[in-house]
Structure 1
Amino acid sequence: MTNQNTLAMDVGFTHEDFAALLDKYDYHFSPGDVVAGTVFSLEPRGALIDIGAKTAAYIPIQEMSINRIDAPEEVLQSNETREFFILADENEDGQLTLSIRRIEYMRAWERVRQLQAEDATVRSLVFATNRGGALVRIEGLRGFIPGSHISTRKPKEDLVGEELPLKFLEVDEERNRLVLSHRRALVERKMNRLEVGEVVIGTVRGIKPYGAFIDIGGVSGLLHISEISHDHIDTPHSVFNVNDEVKVMIIDLDAERGRISLSTKQLEPEPGDMVKNPQVVYDKAEEMAAKYRENMKQQQQGAPAALELPVAEEVPVALEEVEEIPDATEEVE
Structure 2
Amino acid sequence: MFTQLDQTQENEIEELGLLGKPSPMPVINVPPQVESEYIKPQKEEVLEPFYKFFRDGKSAEDTSDSEDVSEEISMEEEEDKKVSVEYYEPKQGDFVVGVVVSGNEYKLDVNIGADLLGTMLTKEVLPLYEKELDNLLCDFEKNPEEFLMKGKMGIVRNEEALSGGPVAGQPVVEHGTVLFAEVLGRTLSGRPLISTRRLFRRLAWHRVRQIKQLNEPIEVKITEWNTGGLLTRIEGLRAFLPKIELVNRVNNFTELKQNVGRRIFVQITRISEDTNDLILSEKEAWNAKHLKEGTLLEGTVRKIFPYGAQIRIGESNRSGLLHISNITRGEFALVNDVLAIDEKVKVLVVKSMFPDKISLSTAVLESEPGLFLSNRERVFSEASEMAKKYRQKLPAVSTIRKLEHLSDALPFNVEENMYANWKWFKFERDNEPK
TM-score by length of 2: 0.42
Partner of 1:125: 221
Q: Is the alpha carbon distance of 1:139 and 1:195 closer, same or farther for their aligned partners in structure 2, counting shifts above 3 Å?
A: closer
- After superposition, residues 213-292 of structure 1 pair within 5 angstroms as 215-221=312-318, 245=342, 261=358
Alpha-carbon shift at residue 62 of structure 1 (Å): 3.3
Where do 5+ consecutive residues of structure 1 fail to align?
205-212, 228-243, 264-285, 288-333
Name whichever structure is richer in strand by fraction.
1
Aligned pair partner of 1:149 in 245, 263, 269 = 245
Alpha-carbon shift at residue 100 of structure 1 (Å): 1.3
Where do 5+ consecutive residues of structure 2 fail to align?
1-63, 131-161, 304-309, 324-340, 361-371, 374-434
Q: Is the alpha carbon distance of 1:65 and 1:262 closer, same or farther for their aligned partners in structure 2, counting shifts above 3 Å?
A: same
CA distance in 1, matches of 2:245, 2:351: 17
Alpha-carbon shift at residue 9 of structure 1 (Å): 7.2
Partner of 1:168: 268
Partner of 2:157: none
Aligned pair partner of 1:81 in 161, 178, 186 = 178
Aligned pair partner of 1:109 in 176, 198, 205 = 205
Structure with larger Rg: 2
Alpha-carbon shift at residue 38 of structure 1 (Å): 0.6
Q: How many pairs align?
A: 235
Contact 2:112 2:118 in 1 (8 A): yes
Partner AA of 1:78 in structure 2: H
Alpha-carbon shift at residue 98 of structure 1 (Å): 0.7
Q: Is the alpha carbon distance of 1:200 and 1:26 closer, same or farther for their aligned partners in structure 2, counting shifts above 3 Å?
A: closer
Q: SS at the partner of 1:93?
A: coil
CA distance in 1, matches of 2:262, 2:107: 34
Contact 1:183 1:219 in 2 (8 A): no
Percent sequence identity over aligned pairs:
22
- After superposition, residues 11-160 of structure 1 pair within 5 angstroms as 25-69=86-130, 76-88=173-185, 90-152=186-248, 155-160=255-260
Alpha-carbon shift at residue 195 of structure 1 (Å): 5.8
CA distance in 1, matches of 2:174, 2:215: 38
CA distance in 1, matches of 2:172, 2:121: 12
CA distance in 2, matches of 1:81, 1:199: 54
Aligned pair partner of 1:201 in 291, 300, 317 = 300
Partner AA of 1:51 in structure 2: I
Q: Is the alpha carbon distance of 1:66 and 1:136 closer, same or farther for their aligned partners in structure 2, counting shifts above 3 Å?
A: farther
Q: Is the alpha carbon distance of 1:123 and 1:85 closer, same or farther for their aligned partners in structure 2, counting shifts above 3 Å?
A: same
CA distance in 2, matches of 1:146, 1:116: 17
Q: Is the alpha carbon distance of 1:72 and 1:95 closer, same or farther for their aligned partners in structure 2, counting shifts above 3 Å?
A: farther
Q: SS at the partner of 1:110?
A: helix
Is 1:180 matched up with 2:280?
A: yes
Q: CA RMSD in A?
A: 5.0
Alpha-carbon shift at residue 215 of structure 1 (Å): 4.2
CA distance in 2, matches of 1:80, 1:156: 45
CA distance in 2, matches of 1:126, 1:92: 43
Q: SS at the partner of 2:232?
A: strand
Partner AA of 1:79 in structure 2: G
Q: Is the alpha carbon distance of 1:45 and 1:133 closer, same or farther for their aligned partners in structure 2, counting shifts above 3 Å?
A: farther
Contact 1:135 1:144 in 2 (8 A): yes
Q: Is the alpha carbon distance of 1:193 and 1:253 closer, same or farther for their aligned partners in structure 2, counting shifts above 3 Å?
A: closer
CA-to-aligned-CA distance 1:227-251 (integer Å, 9 cap, x gap): 9xxxxxxxxxxxxxxxx85899888
Alpha-carbon shift at residue 86 of structure 1 (Å): 0.4
